[in-house]
Structure 1
Amino acid sequence: MQQSLISERNASKAKTQKIFDELDALTNVDEHLQFAGNIIQRVEIPNIVRDEIKQRINHIQKRRTDPNLYLAVIGEFSSGKSTFINALLRDELLKTSVLPTTAAATKLRYGSNLEVEVRLKGTKPGIFKTNGNSKKITVPWLPGVKGINNREFIHILTAKDEVAKDVVELTITHPAPFLGNGIVIIDTPGTNATNSLHGTVTSKVVENEADTAIVIVPATIPLSQSLASFLSSSLGPFLHRCVFVITRFDQIRQREQSQLLNDLRSRLVEQLGIKPPILYTCSAQVVIDDISGEEEVQPHLIVWKERFEQLESLLINRLCRERSLAISENVLRLLTRLLEQLDGQLRSQWEDWLLVQ
C-alpha cells in the first residue's frame, strides 16, 4: 500500500505543478515578502509589530522550503479523533479518552523508529527526547514516568492530566506508511473543552500550519451544537480548508445513510455557509479491529477497510493541491496586517504634523 500511496502522490504533484507555478506568478509571493521586509526596515512602526511581522515572514519562508504536507485533525472529545489517527497509522498508538488533557498540539511525522520529543513547562521546563531503543524511560519529576517504554510515555504525555498540563509541544516519529509520504499529522486539542486555550491552539494550527484540516464528525452525533459553534467562531475564515470525515458510519443503518448525509450537508450550508461542504464517510474502528485481531471483522464490514484506503488517497491529493494555497493565504494575511499598521502609523504622523502647524 505504501508504494501505491507514494505513486499516487507523485502523480498528483505532477498534475498540480502547473497550478502551483501559476499561483506563485499570480500572488508574487517572493516579491511581496521582499516588499514587507523592506518596509519594516524603512518605516517607523512599533517594535512589537516589527517583531511580529519579521516572525511571520520567517515562518512563511520556512514553510515554502518545507517539503512536508501538514494535515490537522480536529474533533471533540469522544468523537473518534484518536481512533481515526490510529487508523491512519495502522497502530493503536494514541490512547482514546473522554477527558480533556493536553492543550498542546501533537505532531506525528515519519521516522524509522518510534521516538518522542517533548517540550515541557512547569517546575523543570525543557526538552526531553527518547530514541527507538528507549525501553526504561524515567523522568523523576513526572508522575508515572519510571522505567516505561515509548508507547507508555506517549500515553502519559497525552492522557494523564497531571503530566499533560505541562506539555508545550509534542512530536512523535512513527514508521507508518501514510506518514512516509511526507505527511505530518497534527492532532489538535479537543474542541469542547472548558479550557479556552484548546480552541486557541486549534485555530492557530489551522491558520498557520495546516495545508488541510479534517473535522471529525461522529455519525451518531452529526454536528453537535458545540462543534458548530466552535467552527463558526474560531475557524470561520478557514472553513474552506476543511474536509468533514463522518466516522462510525458503519453504525448507521444503510437505508438511513443517505438521509443523514443530506441532512448534515444542509446544516453545514445553513449554519456555517460552506458551499459545497466536502464530506467523506469511514469506519476507523473497523480498520483498527482488523489490525489488532481482537475483534473479528464481519464480512459485510470489510468494505470499510477498502473505503478507508480510498480516503487516504483522496487526502494525499488534496494536501498536494492545498499546500500552495495555504502559503499564499499566509502571505496575504501578512500584507494585510502590514498595510493596516502602516496606515495607522501614517495617520498618526499626519495628525502630529497638523498639531504643530
Structure 2
Amino acid sequence: MLESFHSRKDDVTGALRDLVTFAESLGAKSVAARITNDLVKKLDADRFHLVVVGEFNHGKTTFVNALLGASILPVGVTPTTAVIHHLEYAADPRAEVVYASGERTGLPFEDVRAFTVGGERSSSAGEVKFLEVGYPAELLRERVVLVDTPGVNDLSLQRADITYSYIPRSDAVLFLIDAGQPLKESERVFLQEKLLGQSRDKILFVVTKRDIWSQDEEVEALAYIRSELGKLVKSPVVFPISSERALEGDRPGSGMPELLDHLTRFLAEERGRILLDNALGEGIESARLLGKGVDARRRATAMSRDELSRRIEMIEKDLAGQSRTIEERRAGIREEVSAIRAWVHRDLDRFVDDVLRQLPAIIDEAHTDEIKVYLGAFLERTFAEWAQAETKEIATALEALAEKTIALVREDAHDVAKRVSEALGGDVKTPNVEVDTFGYDVGVFALFTIGLGVMFTNALLGGILALAAPVLAVYVKEKVEAETRKKAKEMAPIALREAATRIGPKLDEMIQEFASRLDAWVVTAGQELHREVIEVLKAAREERVQAEPSSESQLKACDAQAEALQALTSRLEGLRSALWTVENGESRPIPPPVSSVPNAPGGSA
C-alpha cells in the first residue's frame, strides 16, 4: 500500500513540476516559485510519523525492535528508554544526539545503548531533546519515522512534550497494552484525559506478549479488551502481537504481518490520500490563476511595444495604489489582535487568582497521601480544563477576524479585476480569492477545513500544557514527608504562578503567529493578480525586444499555451479524482482539504 501511495505521490509531484515549467515559460515566476516551495518541496520532504506509547515493562522497546526486524534498542525489566528515539531509514546504521539547543553530535551506533536509565550517558539526558537513529529497516524505507517514547510506571506522568507535542503531530499512535495486565486504571485515565481528545481517529491498540495466552484464553482476553476499549473508543482497532516470535523469525505466528498490513493501508489511504488531495487542490487553483496570465498574454499580442510598456506602467501604478488598502487591512488585524491578547492575559490572571483562592480549602480536605501523589496532576488537569475552554474562545475571536478580513479582500478583488481589465483593454474575470489559495502549510485555510477550534486545541493547548505540566508536577518530585499541607500550600501557588508566567508568552506567540499568517495572506491575495499579469506582460515585452514576432505567430503560441494548460489542469483533476475512486470504480465524494501538519500545523503529518 505504501508503495502504491509513493507511486501516486510521484505522479502528483511530476504533474506539479510540469505546472512549474509551464508557469516559468509563461513568465509567471512568482506562481512558479510558490508551487515549488509550497507544494513540490513539502511533498518531497513529507514523512509518516508513528509514535509508540506505553508503560514500562509492557514490552514496548522489544516491540519497536520487532518492527525494525532487529534488536537495535536496549530492553530490560526496568525503564530503559531514557530519551525519545527518532528512528528513520539509513543505508548504514548511524546515530546522532540532538540537544534542546538544536546542536547535533555524532554518536557511534553501538553507543545507542548508553542512553538508558542508569546508563553511562543518562546524567546528561536532561540536555538531550532526542536521539536520532538511522537503520536500514524495510518499514523505515517507506519514509516512516518511528518515535519510541520513554516508558514510565504511570502514563499520567508521561513527558509533557510527548503527550502534547509528538502525539498531536503523529500520523498514527501505537498504544501498547500488556497481555498480562490489560487496561490498567492508569491507562484508562491516560486515554480518557490526555490521548483520545487529540488522536481518537489514529490510535491502534497493540496487545504485547500474546504468547502467554492459550488459544482459548486469547479469544476471551481480546473480547474483554475490545469491550473495555469500546467504552472509550468507537470500534477500537486491536492487534495481539508476540514481539519475541517476530524477532526469532516466526513472523506469521507473531501477528506482526496483520498489524503492518493494516498500518500501511491506514497511512496510505487515510493519511496519504488527504495529503495528496491538498496538493492537487492547490495545483488546480494555481492552474486557474495561470489561465489569467495566458489571457493577458493573448491581449498583449494586439499591442505595440510602447503600448505594452504603457499598460504595464498602469498596472504597476494601480498595484502601488493598492498598498494603501492593504495597509488599512493590516492595521485592522493588528488592532484586533492586540485586543484579543489583552483579554486573554486578563483571563489567565483571573483563572490563577480563582484557583489560588480555592486551593487552601481543597488541600485541607484532602488526605496527606493524596496531596503527595495527586496535587501535581490535579493542578495540571485544572489548567488543562481552563486552557481548553480559553482556546475555544481565542479560536472564535480569530475566526471572526479572519472571516471579516476575507470578506473585505473578496470585495477588493472585484475592484482589482475591473481596473486590471481596463488597463488591458478587455474583460478579465474576477480572481477566485479563496482562503486556502497557496495555503498548503497550516494557515488561514484551516478556517474552512479542520476548523480553528481543532487547530488551536491541538496546537495552542498542546503548547500551553507542554510548558506548564512539568512545573505543575513539581510537587510529585519533591520528597515531602512532614508538614505536607503546609508545604503544599507554599509550593502549589509558586508552581501555578510559574506555569502562568511561562504560558503567557506562549499564548502571545500562538495568537501572533496566526495573525502573521493572516497578514501575509492579505498581502498575497491583494497583489496576486497584479503581480502575475505584470510578470507575464514583461515577459512578452522582453520577447519582442529579442525578436518581433508576427501577431499571428503570437496568437498561435497563446493558443498552444492555453491548450497545454488545459491538458495540465485535466491531468491534475484526473489525479485528484483517482484518489477518491474505490475498488469497484465508484467515486467517493472529494472532501474539503485539511491540514497536513499535523497534523497539523498539523497536518499531516
- What is the CA-CA distance between 1:235 and the residue it aligns to? 0.8
Paired positions, count:
263
Q: Does 1:87 align with 2:66?
A: yes
**Equivalent of residue 304 in structure 1, options 228, 236, 253:** 253
**Equivalent of residue 9 in structure 1, options 2, 16, 25:** 2
Q: How far apart, in 1, do the equivalents of 2:157 and 2:274 lie?
A: 25
> CA 1:165/1:100 → structure 2, altered by over 3 Å: closer, same or farther?
farther
The amino acid of 1:319's aligned partner reads: L
Q: Which residue of 2 aligns with 1:289?
A: 248
Identity among equivalent positions (%) equals: 26
Matched-pair contact (CA < 8 Å) for 1:211–1:326: no
**Equivalent of residue 182 in structure 1, options 127, 143, 153:** 143
Q: Which residue of 2 aligns with 1:150?
A: 109
- What is the CA-CA distance between 1:126 and the residue it aligns to? 3.5
Q: SS state of the match for residue 235, structure 1?
A: helix
- What is the CA-CA distance between 1:322 and the residue it aligns to? 3.5
Q: How far apart, in 2, do the equivalents of 1:78 and 1:62 lie?
A: 41
Q: Which residue of 1 aligns with 2:239?
A: 280
Q: Which residue of 1 aligns with 2:194?
A: 234
> CA 1:10/1:100 → structure 2, altered by over 3 Å: closer, same or farther?
same
The amino acid of 2:52's aligned partner reads: V
Matched-pair contact (CA < 8 Å) for 2:171–2:271: yes
> CA 1:303/1:255 → structure 2, altered by over 3 Å: closer, same or farther?
same
Q: How far apart, in 2, do the equivalents of 1:276 and 1:128 lie?
A: 44
Q: Deviations over 1:159-183 (max 9, x none)?
A: 4232433321221110111211111
Q: SS state of the match for residue 245, structure 1?
A: strand
Q: Deviations over 1:303-342 (max 9, x none)?
A: 424x322322221111223325887997466733679969
**Equivalent of residue 314 in structure 1, options 233, 237, 262:** 262
Summarize the alignment of residues 65-104 of structure 1 with structure 2, pairs less than 5 Å apart.
66-100=45-79, 104=83
The amino acid of 1:95's aligned partner reads: P
The amino acid of 1:75's aligned partner reads: G
Q: Which residue of 1 aligns with 2:29?
A: none
Q: How far apart, in 2, do the equivalents of 1:155 and 1:59 lie?
A: 39
Summarize the alignment of residues 24-35 of structure 1 with structure 2, pairs less than 5 Å apart.
none
> CA 1:236/1:63 → structure 2, altered by over 3 Å: closer, same or farther?
farther
- Greater Cα shift, 197-206 or 182-191: 197-206
> CA 1:98/1:166 → structure 2, altered by over 3 Å: closer, same or farther?
farther
Q: How far apart, in 2, do the equivalents of 1:10 and 1:89 lie?
A: 18
Summarize the alignment of residues 336-355 of structure 1 with structure 2, pairs less than 5 Å apart.
336=453
**Equivalent of residue 224 in structure 1, options 177, 184, 202:** 184
Q: Does 1:267 align with 2:223?
A: no
TM-score, structure 1 as length reference: 0.63
Q: SS state of the match for residue 178, structure 1?
A: helix
Q: How far apart, in 1, do the equivalents of 2:156 and 2:266 lie?
A: 32
Q: SS state of the match for residue 223, structure 1?
A: coil
- What is the CA-CA distance between 1:11 and the residue it aligns to? 3.1
Matched-pair contact (CA < 8 Å) for 1:189–1:201: no
Q: Which residue of 2 aligns with 1:201?
A: 162
Unaligned runs of 5+ in 2: 13-36, 279-440, 461-510, 516-605
Q: Does 1:214 align with 2:167?
A: no
- What is the CA-CA distance between 1:262 and the residue it aligns to? 1.1
> CA 1:258/1:174 → structure 2, altered by over 3 Å: closer, same or farther?
same
Summarize the alignment of residues 25-174 of structure 1 with structure 2, pairs less than 5 Å apart.
66-100=45-79, 104-120=83-99, 126-130=103-107, 149-151=108-110, 153-159=111-117, 160=119, 161-174=122-135
Q: Which residue of 2 aligns with 1:335?
A: 452
> CA 1:248/1:101 → structure 2, altered by over 3 Å: closer, same or farther?
closer
- What is the CA-CA distance between 1:187 and the residue it aligns to? 0.8
Q: Deviations over 1:2-57 (max 9, x none)?
A: xxxxxx4223567999xx9xxxxxxxxxxxxxxxxxxxxxxxxxxxxxxxxxxxxx
- What is the CA-CA distance between 1:239 and the residue it aligns to? 2.3
Q: How far apart, in 1, do the equivalents of 2:79 and 2:38 lie?
A: 30
Q: How far apart, in 2, do the equivalents of 1:180 and 1:303 lie?
A: 21
Q: SS state of the match for residue 239, structure 1?
A: helix
- What is the CA-CA distance between 1:264 and the residue it aligns to? 0.6
Q: How far apart, in 2, do the equivalents of 1:206 and 1:60 lie?
A: 25
The amino acid of 1:304's aligned partner reads: G
- Greater Cα shift, 223-232 or 188-197: 188-197
Matched-pair contact (CA < 8 Å) for 2:97–2:132: yes
The amino acid of 2:257's aligned partner reads: E
Matched-pair contact (CA < 8 Å) for 1:244–1:279: yes
Matched-pair contact (CA < 8 Å) for 2:50–2:144: yes
Q: How far apart, in 2, do the equivalents of 1:171 and 1:279 lie?
A: 29
- What is the CA-CA distance between 1:254 and the residue it aligns to? 1.0
Q: How far apart, in 2, do the equivalents of 1:113 and 1:247 lie?
A: 29
The amino acid of 2:65's aligned partner reads: N
Q: Which residue of 1 aligns with 2:432?
A: none
Q: CA RMSD in A?
A: 3.8
Report which of the two structures shows the higher radius of gyration computed on alpha carbons. 2
Q: How far apart, in 2, do the equivalents of 1:82 and 1:91 lie?
A: 11
Larger RCO (CA under 8 A, 6+ residues apart): 1
